[in-house]
Amino acid sequence: MSSLDIDDFTDLIERPDGGVRRDAEAHRERRAVPPGSLGRLDDLGEWLAAAQSAVPVRPIERPKVVLFAGDHGIAELGVSARVAGSAVELVREVLAGGRPVSVLARRLGVPVRVVDMALDCDPGALPEDVVRHRVRRGSGRIDIEDALSPQEAEAAFRAGMAVADEEADSGTDLVVLGDVSVGGTTAAGVLVAALCGTDASVVTGRGGLAIDDLAWMRKCAAIRDALRRARPVLGDQLRLLATVGGADLTAMTGFLLQSAVRKTPVVLDGVVTAACALVAQRVAFRSPDWWLAAHASGEPGQAKALDRMALEPLLSQGVTVGEGTGALLALPLVQSAAALAAELPERPVEPAKSE
Catalytic positions are: 323
How far out from the chain centre does Cα 152 lie?
21
Q: Are 87 and 120 in contact (CB under 8 A)?
A: yes
Q: Are 211 and 124 in contact (CB under 8 A)?
A: no
Q: Are 43 and 289 in contact (CB under 8 A)?
A: no
Alpha helices per DSSP H over the chain: 9-12, 18-29, 40-52, 87-96, 100-108, 128-131, 150-169, 184-196, 200-203, 213-230, 237-244, 247-261, 271-283, 300-309, 325-343
Residue 288: closest CA among 298, 296, 280, 299: 280
Q: Are 23 and 53 in contact (CB under 8 A)?
A: no
Backbone angles phi, psi at 174, to 5 degrees: -165, 135
The Cα–Cα gap between 338 and 355 comes to 42
Contacts of residue 140, defined as CB under 8 A and 6 or more positions apart, other chains included, come to 73, 146, 147, 148, 246
Helix (H) or strand (E) segment spanning residue 3 = none
The Cα–Cα gap between 327 and 333 comes to 10
